[in-house]
Amino acid sequence: MLNQPQVVSAKTRERVQAAMKELNFHLNPAASALRRGHGNVITVLAASLAQPWYTKLMRALKVEIEARGFTVMLVDLQHDPEVLRQALLPNSQHLPTGMVLATGDLLADTETFEAIRAAHATRPMVVIGQHVPDAEWPTVQFTDEEWAYRATREMLQHADSVAFLGQLEGSYLATERLAGYLRAVREVGLDEERWVWPIATRGYEAGLEAVHRRIDAGEIPGAILAINDELALGGSRALLTRGLRIPEDVAVMGFGNTDFLDYVTPTLSSVDGSATEAARVAIDALWAQFEEQPFPELTVLERTLVHRESTRNSEPA
Amino acid sequence: MLNQPQVVSAKTRERVQAAMKELNFHLNPAASALRRGHGNVITVLAASLAQPWYTKLMRALKVEIEARGFTVMLVDLQHDPEVLRQALLPNSQHLPTGMVLATGDLLADTETFEAIRAAHATRPMVVIGQHVPDAEWPTVQFTDEEWAYRATREMLQHADSVAFLGQLEGSYLATERLAGYLRAVREVGLDEERWVWPIATRGYEAGLEAVHRRIDAGEIPGAILAINDELALGGSRALLTRGLRIPEDVAVMGFGNTDFLDYVTPTLSSVDGSATEAARVAIDALWAQFEEQPFPELTVLERTLVHRESTRNSEPA
DNA sequence: CTGAAAGCGCTTACAG
DNA sequence: CTGAAAGCGCTTACAG
């Protein structure tokens, strides 16, 4: 009766509901989960809670998941493949209901790939951020190579060199964006290697340090494309403290279009991608698996360039 | 045997463990929870995931909770009392294991207070951020009134007026900080009401708007104390776009000492409080309840002033 | 439409 | 030290 209230008569139903209220009775979710064979929790594995983009995505995912009557369990992977593998083990989970894996860290290496395969054998799953060859799960990702290419080409209209702030081993996203950057640089006949800047980590401080080091070495490009907004802000700070003007001396563009960009000085341009849309498509694909419906193997979402003060063409033609 | 491996002989133990591995067997957590009477999930209710301070606190809480072998379920309250009340209902929870409530929104009003009381009757609980009179649960909070007072006094050494950016109804934290500000202003004999600025919400945009409005009205103080770092950044942006210099014309200080303050220009001063320490004390008090040990009813943690470019005495004497 | 019974997968107390 | 049994609180199939 509790799960199909319409099968009993209205009178009985009301009597039961009154009694439930009076006795302050509530279903025991562990017992329900045991009997049904699954709980109502979706685990979201996010690359890092310290990065604003994942916070943004996380909130969008919560909206979609809660709209379906499920709750979210959030795991902060901290960019550590070992944390991911642990999180994927069945015993660290609640009953296998579903998982969302959102990370830009490379998943195609053998060990991680096998861990995901094993986890996916037990429960529905969706990956946001990267398509792994031979994946059996649905993937949602952005057109990163393409938009890194476009951002670079556009910056090259106003600058004779563009640095890529964000070469990072083990990062799928950094590698995709680097590929787009290199394609653009190659097309205009510039030296491909010259302005590729590696970073130590993904945070503000790493951006600050990398740019300081290059200025010390006398290498000052006409523009910088950073793989995220934190690096863009850290890099900007380094430029400003060294007396360089943004965008007059060096233009700056990040990735992610996170909240703070409109409030820093100068405001920062960024390559945007809709967290809301990514979340919607991903959760649709997850639910299709619950219902044993077909799902799109790969969904590719477009991006847009958002110009602010840190790039020269903040007034698009 | 699974829960007390030492009671069986080494040979049997190994045989069982080998079989578990071979069959890829894992305990069903719902069944364990049902039998034991409680699960291993701590629910963390945070005021807003959009605010960097709560992200910081959340990460510290996860560390403490996971160190004890429990997992974290995160709920974003979005500053909505209705969401809080829903989250406190027993049926929206897993088995009653424990809850951490971290919010600066006023809890002392009758309805919310009753909801917390009812939830606390079912399970251990700890509140971070505010002491509610007659609370039966442990509370961890910072010395907000005191440090708002000290920050204001210090800014008054270099400015003849300090504005308070953050009057906000329904916020315990805003009210505490306003009280400290007013005490400082009163002590030096200034008009108490004149520089108290209300805000519409807690984000960057609200800070920007509030400050623009005041500049339009010709009200320019010598310094601004904001109740969080987002408002401080939004407010700074407004000052800079109107040609005001920070700190020469207007000094700025926020609350929370979040990540980005060292990378914006000018870097922003802030009143710090240790999220790590708050998390440690809170989870200790939660576990004391599990073990039916006594716990401190109220723990008050100190704060510190962190000076950066946006205040005049960035080199403390 | 209603009520009683079986069983989900564990944990624990108990008998051997 | 080992094995078999009871029971946590639900859901669902079935008998009345």
CA-nearest residue to B26 within chain A is A91
What is the pLDDT at residue B15? Answer: 74
Strand C close residues, chain B 9-28, CB < 7 angstroms: 25-28
Q: What percent of chain B has pLDDT over 70?
A: 94
**Mean pLDDT computed over B93-98:** 65
pLDDT at res. B109: 86
On the 0-12 / 13-18 / 19+ scale of CB atoms within 10 A, A38 is middle
More confident: B172 or A96 = B172
Name all protein residues with C-beta less than 7 A from any atom of nucleic acid chain D. Answer: A 1-3, 25-28, 31-32, 34-36; B 7-9, 11-12, 31, 34-35, 37
Name, in order, each residue with C-beta under 8 angstroms of B239's C-beta and a sequence gap of 6 or more.
B211, B215, B246, B249, B250, B252
Q: How confident is the model at residue B314 (pLDDT cuts 50, 70, 90)?
A: low
Nearest amino-acid residue to D11, taking CA and C1': A35
**Which one is predicted more confidently, B93 or A187?**
A187
A130-181 pLDDT tens trace: 999 989 999 999 999 999 999 999 999 999 999 999 999 999 999 999 999 9
Average pLDDT, stretch B302-312?
96
Q: Tell me which of B135 and B291 has the higher pLDDT.
A: B135
pLDDT in tens, A2-14: 667 666 777 777 7
Of all residues in chain A, what percent carry a pLDDT higher than 70?
Answer: 94
Nearest nucleotide by C1' from A36 CA?
D11
Q: Which of A24, A95, A265 faces B30 most closely, judged by CB atoms?
A: A95
Chain A residues closer than 8 Å to B72 by CB:
73-74
Residue B259 pLDDT > 80: yes
* Residues A246, A261 contacting (CB under 8 angstroms): no
The beta-carbon neighbor of A30 closest among B30, B58, B73 is B30
CB contact under 8 A, A260 and B233: yes
CB contact under 8 A, B59 and A73: no
Q: What is the pLDDT of residues A17-55, one digit of tens each?
A: 777 777 777 777 778 888 887 788 899 999 998 899 999
- Spell out which residues of chain A touch residue B73, defining contact as CB-CB under 8 Å: 41, 71-74
pLDDT over 90 at A97, yes or no: no
Say yes or no for a CB contact (<8 Å) between B34 and A29.
Answer: no
Q: How far apart are CA B199 and CA B203, in angstroms?
A: 9
Q: Which structural domains are found in chain A, ordered by start?
A: 1-36 (no CATH), 37-142+277-302 (3.40.50.2300), 144-273 (3.40.50.2300)
- Altogether, the residues listed in chain A come to a count of 317
Candidates B51, B46, B47; CA nearest to B260 is: B51
pLDDT of residue B94: 53
Mark residues 9-38 of chain A whose C-beta is closer than 7 A to nucleic acid strand C: 9, 11-12, 31, 34-35, 37
Closest-approach residue (CA) in chain A for B207? A263
- Residue A17: the pLDDT is 75
- The per-residue pLDDT for range A181-232, each reduced to its tens digit, is 999 999 999 999 999 999 999 999 999 999 999 999 999 999 999 999 999 9
- Phi and psi of A190, rounded to 5°? -90, 165
Q: List the single residue in A39, A91, A263 with the smallest CB-CB distance to B26.
A: A91
Using alpha carbons only, how large is chain B's radius of gyration in Å? 24
Which positions of strand C lie within 7 Å of protein CB atoms? 1-3, 7-12
The confidence score (pLDDT) of residue A38 equals 78
pLDDT exceeds cutoff 50 at A317: no
Neighboring chain A residues of B39 at a CB cutoff of 8 Å: 30
Per-residue pLDDT tens digits for A109-132: 888 999 999 888 888 999 999 999
Nucleotides of D under 7 A from a protein CB: 1-3, 7-12
* Cα–Cα distance measured from residue B176 to residue B148, given in angstroms and rounded to the nearest whole number: 8
* pLDDT tops 70 at residue B252: yes
